[in-house]
Amino acid sequence: MKPSQSKQVDAASASGKTPPSLVWQIVSATFFRIVLNTARRFAYPFAPALSRGLQVPLMAVTSLIAANQASGLIGLLIGPMADRWGYRRMMRAGLALLTIGMAMCWLAPAYAFVFAGLMLAGIGKTTYDPAVQAFVGQRIPFARRGMAIGAMETAWAGSTLVGIPVVALIIDRFGLQWAFFAMALMGAAGWVLLARVIPADKKPASGNPHGIGMAASLAQLARIRPAAGMLGFGFLISMANDNLFVVYGAWLEQDFGIGIVALGLSTSIIGAAELTGESLTAFCGDRLGLKRAMVIGLGVAAMGYLILPYIGNSLHAGLGGLFLIFCAFEFTIVCSFSLCTELLPSSRATMMAGYLAAAGVGRMVGALSGGALWLAGGLAAVTGTSVMVMVLALICLGWGLRGQHFR
């Protein structure tokens, strides 16, 4: 983008209009985010195929998945780098890591290389996500932030509804190696395209003429009450969600005796719920006010957890309950992304990286607690715990945003 075009974008954004060039930038960034999300999520449904293709036990593949999830913690270091070095530069770095990682998996399909390649792709997503969210936060006025972030977050559901089925077709027709090649190719295309459609970074991207060190940047997350409150909120709602997510398949299988095809259908229902929640954020988040929308979403999700054991004697009602819970959760967390982009305007990527890391730790804790609760008390123990965790999340939200003038 030429400098004159960049000035036009800034002027149009300030006037309340979203210029076509900025829309195209967000659409392009969202498309390649689907590729990154697909690379992160495809190992879940295709774990048996990876096990066979790499000639390793299934446990080795699940260990690979867990290590890939843990890569999100690296975002705590990458976020401050994005604020200092620029958002476009870090977005392209994320796509470069995806390309290198997937190319490694394609060229050397042995377990050690695939492990390393998927870790690189995971770090690529961890690099890309805070930068792209901070980029939107920098360019879109807060009054329309929910719409922009909500539209961009459809990339998460898009990976389930579009990306993974495409990967399945490639694996079925050409084999596992060519799925890696396709994702490497898309990553390389994104690395080239984003340099053409997104303007060069201002120096510094954060707007701070001197910048602040990494330690000082990270210290803000604990020192500033709204930031600390939102980190606790993200940890707790993610814990509550994954507490159920890791056992819902066991519940459906045990109580209704459904097979693999039906479990696959339930995954599609969750993908549709995620897309609905993201779309509701885009259409309703700004109108309701992001803080109010988060409270509403929290309440609906808690209600879903509360009633699920009572309506779960019917498969259709149980699937409806799961849809409600995952839709409300997605609506809540995407609204929280939008709000977080405004909490530390001089360190947006740092805030987003910290929030994503807190949510990632919450998911890991929820995955561990969900299995133990399921064995101890079944679905009621799982959902009852999730309700209590949601109450704690509401307390964190109220404490963190007390006195803050968000709609």
Residue 320 sits in the same domain as residue 183: no
* Domain C-terminal end among 163, 197, 231: 197
Residue 182 sits in the same domain as residue 60: yes
Whole-number pLDDT of residue 51 = 81
Could you tell me the CATH number of the domain that includes residue 183?
A: 1.20.1250.20
> Cis before residue 80, ω within 30 degrees of 0?
no
- Please give the biggest Cα pair distance in the chain: 63
**Between the CA of residue 386 and those of 15, 109, 266, 302, 361, what are the distances in Å?**
43, 40, 20, 8, 16
Residue 86 sits in the same domain as residue 17: yes
* Domain C-terminal end among 197, 229, 253: 197
Contact 143, 18 (CB under 8 A): no
Other CB atoms within a 10 A radius of the CB of residue 66 amount to: 11
The DSSP output letter for 406 is -
Residues with Cβ within 8 Å of 22's Cβ and at least 6 positions away in sequence, in order, are 9, 12, 13, 139, 140
Residue 90 sits in the same domain as residue 180: yes
The DSSP output letter for 344 is S
Give a yes or no: residue 206 inside a domain: no
Give a yes or no: residue 202 inside a domain: no
Give a yes or no: residue 358 inside a domain: yes
* Nearest residue to 234 (alpha-carbon basis) of 112, 72, 370: 72
Residue 171 sits in the same domain as residue 69: yes
Residue 264 sits in the same domain as residue 219: yes
Whole-number pLDDT of residue 213 = 57
Residues of 36-50 as b/e, b for ≥16 C-beta within 10 angstroms? bbbbbbbbebbbebb
393 conformational bin, left if phi > 0, alpha if psi -120 to 50, beta if neither:
alpha
Whole-number pLDDT of residue 209 = 41
Give a yes or no: residue 208 inside a domain: no
Whole-number pLDDT of residue 20 = 82
Residue 231 sits in the same domain as residue 85: no
* Nearest residue to 48 (alpha-carbon basis) of 37, 39, 59, 34: 59
Residue 188 sits in the same domain as residue 223: no
Half-sphere exposure of 385 (CA within 13 A, CB side): 24
Following CA atoms 304, 305, 307, 310 in sequence, which dihedral angle do they give, to the nearest 10 degrees? 140
**Between the CA of residue 20 and those of 17, 57, 145, 153, what are the distances in Å?**
9, 50, 16, 19
Give the Cα separation of 247 and 254 in Å (integer): 10
Give a yes or no: residue 204 inside a domain: no
Task: Extract the tokens encoding 74.
Answer: 């690296």
Residue 72 sits in the same domain as residue 108: yes
- Say what the pTM is: 0.78
Give a yes or no: residue 203 inside a domain: no
Phi, psi of 320 (to 5 degrees): -65, -40
Residue 165 sits in the same domain as residue 258: no
Residue 148 sits in the same domain as residue 227: no
Residue 174 sits in the same domain as residue 65: yes
What's the domain range around 138?
3-197
Residue 59 CB burial class (10 angstroms; 0-12, 13-18, ≥19): exposed
Structural domain total, the chain: 2
Tens-digit pLDDT string for the chain (407 aa): 444 444 444 444 445 566 788 889 999 999 999 999 999 888 776 777 788 888 888 778 767 777 777 777 777 777 778 778 888 999 999 999 999 999 999 998 889 999 999 999 989 998 998 889 888 888 888 888 888 888 888 888 888 888 888 888 888 888 888 999 999 999 999 999 999 999 887 755 444 444 555 566 677 777 889 999 999 999 999 999 988 887 887 788 788 877 655 666 677 788 889 899 999 998 888 889 989 999 999 999 999 999 999 987 888 899 999 999 999 999 999 999 989 988 888 788 888 888 988 988 888 888 788 888 988 999 999 999 999 999 999 999 999 998 776 55
Give the Cα separation of 204 and 190 in Å (integer): 23
Helices and strands, counts by H and E, the chain: 19, 0
Give the Cα separation of 131 and 92 in Å (integer): 10
